[in-house]
Amino acid sequence: MHGQNPLQYGFDFALWTRAPVAGLIRREFDVRLSLASIGTLLACLGVTPQKPLQRAYQCDPVAIERWQHETFPAIAQQASRENADVFFWDESGFRDDPVHGRTRAQLGEIPIVGAGERQSMSAASAVDSRGAFWFDTYPGALTGELFVVLLEKLMF
């Protein structure tokens, strides 16, 4: 199990929870253990619940290596020659309603949620390697025209 994920053992998911560990033990050793026993066993082995880092499945280690050792150093050298700053840009959207579409209510009661007008906003931010930070908010989606406007704001 160490260094492996459930996909490598033929499971349809990539997280090690007690259930797939129990399934693996049952399949490999024909032993059935309760989820509580699996938890105790894992704890004895020093395996504790952890929040995993997420990596894009399209991750290309060769491209990452090239970016780190060739592309970015070239950009940084050019910026230094031109007395310019290099910023890393990101954008995101925020809404005031839960995306998952659930709420809580008393057992047996179906909650009714009004279909009021949803509020949302979008934000763009940029940071450089020295910690300089810039951000702006805007309504709606980011368009090419708006991107240019935001870049102009960032430059001043």
Chain CA centroid to CA 19, Å: 24
| Contact present, 108 and 144 (Cβ < 8 Å) | no
pTM, two decimal places: 0.50
Strand-pairing partners, residue 120, are: 95
Strand-pairing partners, residue 138, are: 122
28-86 confidence digits (pLDDT tens)? 999 999 999 998 988 888 888 777 666 666 778 899 999 999 999 999 999 999 999 99
Predicted local distance difference test score (pLDDT) of residue 104: 63
Task: Supply the mean pLDDT for the chain.
Answer: 83
Find the largest Cα–Cα distance for the chain.
68
